[in-house]
Structure 1
Amino acid sequence: MTITTTNMEVEGPEGGAPNLNSGSGAPPTRARGFFNALMRDRAAVFSLAYILLIALVAITAPLLVRLSGWSPYEFDQKAINPDLGGVPLGAFGGISSEHWLGVEPGSGRDIFARVVYGARVSMTIAISATLLTTFLGVVFGLLAGYFGGKIDGLISRVMEFLMAFPALIFMIAILSALPADNRQFLLVVVISVFGWPYLARIVRGQTMSLKQREFVEAAQSSGATNAQILFKEILPNLMSTIIVMSTLAVPGYIGTEAGLSFLGVGVVPPAPSWGQMIASSVVWYAVDPMYFIIPGVCLFLLVLSFTVLGDRVKKLVQTGEGRP
């Protein structure tokens, strides 16, 4: 879940920055140029297309499930063989016109419906955790880097304290001790608590550099308040870094949610989750490999797509491509 960056420099307005926003008054064509440069990268286009597809599936999950005719919680005992312990009837895990991706061994629940709702769970948790992590990381990083002194010391000690923990082990311990109610909300909070220091550390370092620049000193001399300097002068020059870090954080959080669900402390059954489905498929792999392959491939491609997209965005920011 740790995210590292290298050679990610942020320049001020006078430094020819590769930022998406170089402060107030930035031309709107800069974002358009960045997007056009991104669209020229075939890997980025394919990655973005798959991410948008999964996002659309997650948003329209109730409609898709209604079209398939099966709820993710509905059992179909006619689709499994009770004499063989619940092995799906038919080839490839029971794939048919009635069950588009087959059925779950032992229970007969529709895999398509569970994969669709699993996409909604994974995307909701990952995006929510990324937004909360970004908010906390930016706020505390700005405060620590700009004000320094005791504020910086306190925030830095908290960051070091959280970063010193083996995050996954403590997530498992904390979630095991918490009630099963509102588990998705708890997952978002726990993941964010251990995730924000990595972004905050980078924002802090770049804020300390930017506050020494001439444009910040000019704003201070003109009587601008601290809030105006932070949000109108410094924050716009950090947007490219924040976007890159957020994009790279999403696949880590998707994997974290899947891992926690796989270990039994994430999403609580019968709510569907890709990690939970993969965990359940282990005992059935020899007789029904499709039950493992389908959610496994969906999870792998989603994590890969976010990783590739984040890497391409990072390269464009570092090289300055896409600037008008």
Structure 2
Amino acid sequence: MSISSTELEAAGAPDTGALVAAPDPRRSVWHVLLRDPSAIACLTYIGIVVLMALFAPLIVRVSGWGPYDFDQTAIDPNLGGIPLGPAGGISAEHWLGVEPQSGRDIFARIVYGARASMLIAVSATALTTVLGVVFGLLAGYFGGRTDMVISRLMEFLMAFPALIFMIAVLSALPADNRQYLLVLVISVFGWPYLARIVRAQTMSLKQREFVEAALASGASRTRLVFTEILPNLRSTILVMVTLAVPGYIGTEAGLSFLGVGVVPPTPSWGQMISSSVGWYSVVPSYFLVPGTFLALLVLSFMVLGDRVRSAVDPGGR
């Protein structure tokens, strides 16, 4: 006996023709972020810094001064090289003033410093994410001896005094390719934090019905990990990435401030802050300009990470 669609509707059965595909989580996150004024402000500032890093040579060419150009006419040699003019030498030629003693243009060094800071932070975040996801999946899915070895390694790295080790290693290594060494050292101590979270969620997900159903249907372990478990970790990984970038920006700035980060004369925001310490009482703008750019960038990523977390898990609070 056949049943008409009218009878199906009357019985409360769903109409298969009206089924709609499940919404994409990424679209939901973007929809929430674009309705949040603070998230829009953070994305705007981050976008400006990224554009500065990408088009640094073109921007500097428009400003007229490179990051390594000395302008001795902009400083007063009789007063120890203090910049001439108000607010650290701000003028039509030097939009954010000049460095004391050297006369180098601060705007040009800020622009190139954004390139160094973003390159190190984004590269370290990418490497950390790959290592954390791979080791977390291996430990959480296979368990046993694999989990024990990876877990002991994570605990050792998390308990180790990372900052002291970074300072010691970077001080002993040659200055060549220091940016790549910074990425490597930061990533070595950064991946366990993501790996622990991925491990815990993997251990939970592998007990779920859809994973057991895929296993019963003959799916390989590789397929289970990368097509069943990993897609369900996207939200967690996205939140961790947005929160990791500001941490690595601060780490690079701190190491450069301590003299073991980016090697002069390559500009870096942390290095500029370190150089300005002896001048902050005489030329406060030399300290305030890079400090403000750095603080706003870290704050933007932290606020954005918090908004992403709220968008991914609205009931998490």
User: Shared fold by TM > 0.5?
Assistant: yes
Aligned mates of 1:56, 1:90 — CA distance in 2: 30
Match of 1:142 in 2: 137
Match of 1:255 in 2: 250
Q: Deviations over 1:17-75 (max 9, x none)?
A: xxxxxxxxx74644223211111111111111110111011111000011111110111
Output the amino acid matched with 1:152.
D
User: Following superposition of structure 1 onto structure 2, how do residues 56-205 of structure 1 map, counting pairs within 5 Å?
Assistant: 56-205=51-200
Aligned mates of 2:28, 2:212 — CA distance in 1: 30
Q: Deviations over 1:119-172 (max 9, x none)?
A: 010001000000000000000000000001111111111101100112111111
Output the amino acid matched with 1:33.
S
**Which of the residues 198, 206, 209 maps onto 1:211?**
206
Aligned mates of 2:292, 2:179 — CA distance in 1: 23
User: Following superposition of structure 1 onto structure 2, how do residues 232-243 of structure 1 map, counting pairs within 5 Å?
Assistant: 232-243=227-238
* Shift, 1:254, TM fit: 0.2
Output the amino acid matched with 2:65.
W
Match of 1:231 in 2: 226
* Shift, 1:316, TM fit: 1.4
Q: Secondary structure at the match of 1:230?
A: helix
Aligned mates of 1:263, 1:282 — CA distance in 2: 12
User: Following superposition of structure 1 onto structure 2, how do residues 13-28 of structure 1 map, counting pairs within 5 Å?
Assistant: 27=22
Q: Deviations over 1:180-206 (max 9, x none)?
A: 000000000000000000000000010
Aligned mates of 2:228, 2:315 — CA distance in 1: 20
Output the amino acid matched with 1:195.
G
**Which of the residues 37, 44, 59 maps onto 1:49?**
44
Aligned mates of 1:315, 1:30 — CA distance in 2: 13
Output the amino acid matched with 2:35.
R
Q: Secondary structure at the match of 1:70?
A: coil
Two-structure CA RMSD over aligned residues (Å): 1.4
Task: Show structure 1 runs of 5+ residues with no match.
Answer: 1-25
> Is structure 2 residue 283 aligned with structure 1 residue 288?
yes
Aligned mates of 1:199, 1:55 — CA distance in 2: 25
Match of 1:17 in 2: none
Aligned mates of 1:240, 1:226 — CA distance in 2: 22
Larger Cα Rg: Structure 1 or Structure 2?
A: 2
> Is structure 2 residue 26 aligned with structure 1 residue 31?
yes
Q: Deviations over 1:233-280 (max 9, x none)?
A: 000000000000010000000000000000000000000000000011
Output the amino acid matched with 1:129.
A
Larger RCO of the pair (alpha carbons < 8 Å, separation 6+)? 1
Q: Secondary structure at the match of 2:91?
A: coil
Output the amino acid matched with 2:125.
T
Aligned mates of 1:206, 1:131 — CA distance in 2: 20
Equivalences, count: 297
TM-score by length of 1: 0.90
TM-score by length of 2: 0.92
Aligned mates of 2:257, 2:35 — CA distance in 1: 37
Of stretches 163-172 and 237-246 in structure 1, the one that deviates more from structure 2 is 163-172
